[in-house]
Structure 1
């Protein structure tokens, strides 16, 4: 009976560690994406994208209406891997991370800089899937604005 109690107690104390590991691995996948952008490395970028990745953006038109824009991941990957004058530096803060088995969602406020010059800010929302090779990004949607940015 004493051995059973010890085993059950150790298992219960280990559960938070397993959840934390997934959250750490999820953060690593997202950080790898932004490291790839800063380095201009499309191979590194593709390493964290799942097949069938979907990109969307919510933009506000000058008249104040919001529009959903579908973007092509291949165009983004090519743009990242094409040499550019300024470093693309998207600085994020991890917000809410939810995990249910092989599915995760992540909310990250961000500020985007071209080199040292502020460009815009918004929210990135990621959906990730746990695969045999680790967490992969399957969906990204974001907002973009030049004011009312998080501090």
Structure 2
């Protein structure tokens, strides 16, 4: 995963809740990678990308990907990922990710 991400990637999530209201969360890349590698092997997780829209202008691209996230085959949450990419030396790197999460 690190190979496709910028060293300075920005990671944010918007948790949507009718009860608690909307909350913007920031995460640093080190904590993000650590959280992925610390998932126990007996936990099955899958993010299903439902569709995508990609826009490119020169060295910048944006991908919009609605998704559903499953834990042990049960729907955990859904939302949209928005990725911003930067092209440097014929290689695309993700520089920004923000997603929405709702139950």
- For normalisation by structure 1, the TM-score amounts to 0.61
> What's the counterpart of residue 58 of structure 1?
14
Q: Call closer, same or farther: CA 1:142–1:83 in 2, change over 3 Å.
A: closer
CA contact (8 A) 1:94 1:106 kept: no
Which has the larger helix fraction?
1
Structure 1 unpaired stretches of 5+: 1-44, 147-151
Pick from 13, 16, 25: which aligns with 1:69? 25
> What's the counterpart of residue 89 of structure 2?
132
Aligned residues: 102
Q: Which has the higher contact order (CA 8 A, sep 6+)?
A: 2
- Which entry has the higher C-alpha Rg, 1 or 2? 1
Are 2:2 and 1:46 aligned?
yes
CA distance in structure 2 between the partners assigned to 1:87 and 1:130 by the alignment = 33
CA contact (8 A) 1:56 1:70 kept: yes
Q: Shift of the alpha carbon at 1:62?
A: 5.2
- For normalisation by structure 2, the TM-score amounts to 0.87
**Superposition misfits of 4+ residues, deviation over 6 angstroms:** none
Which has the larger strand fraction?
2
Structure 2 unpaired stretches of 5+: none
Q: Shift of the alpha carbon at 1:52?
A: 0.5
CA distance in structure 1 between the partners assigned to 2:36 and 2:19 by the alignment = 31
